[in-house]
Amino acid sequence: MKILITGFVAFVIWCFVSAWLYNDKLLPMMKKQVQVQAIPENQKNEADSLMKLKALMPKDLSIYFEFNDSKLKADPRYDNSIAAFKAWLDKYPGSMLSVEGFTDLVGTTEFNQALGLKRANIVGKYLEEHGITTGKIMAKSKGEDTNPADYITKEGRANSRRTDISIKMQ
């Protein structure tokens, strides 16, 4: 019986203390108005500037290849994108072009890595022919790695055989 009475007394004390904390401490803090400091609109936010810069950036370009081939077929649509890349690089000299060659899963990993690099280098030479300096191009092979395309269908494998060109800011 002593245990029940002691427990009941402890429960009553706990109820009074928690009611006091809630009513006298927490409620006034929740009702208190908080002062908000306004940021002047003329102050530029660095994150906003970067978002605006990324929005102006030319869109990535993907160039597709035939199976087990690294021959580039010239397409007038490429020229417009390459001109946009060149204009961007002229305006922002700290930028670089990333040229990444991809392959499908057919073949050995070593062969696909070499084929991806060969495709990236061919596209790099094409970019140089269109006025982009060699020092602004980073060519690398992704081979069959980190490729999001579907490998089961013929179309999915064809979408994997590509080279992606994108701008990298430094």
Per-residue pLDDT, 13: 95
Q: What's 49-168's CATH class? A: alpha beta
Per-residue pLDDT, 7: 92
Higher-pLDDT residue of 43, 95? 95
Is this prediction's pTM over 0.85? no
Per-residue pLDDT, 47: 60
Reported as a single tens digit per residue, the pLDDT across 29-44 is: 777 777 777 766 655 5
Q: What is the 3-state secondary structure of the chain?
A: CHHHHHHHHHHHHHHHHHHHHHHHHHHHHHHCCCCCCCCCCCCCCHHHHHHHHHHHCCCCEEEECCCCCCCCCCCHHHHHHHHHHHHHHHHCCCCEEEEEEECCCCCCHHHHHHHHHHHHHHHHHHHHHCCCCHHHEEEEEEECCCCCCCCCCHHHHHHHCEEEEEEECC
Q: Any idea where the domains of the chain sit in the sequence?
A: 1-31, 49-168
Reported as a single tens digit per residue, the pLDDT across 12-30 is: 999 999 988 888 888 887 7
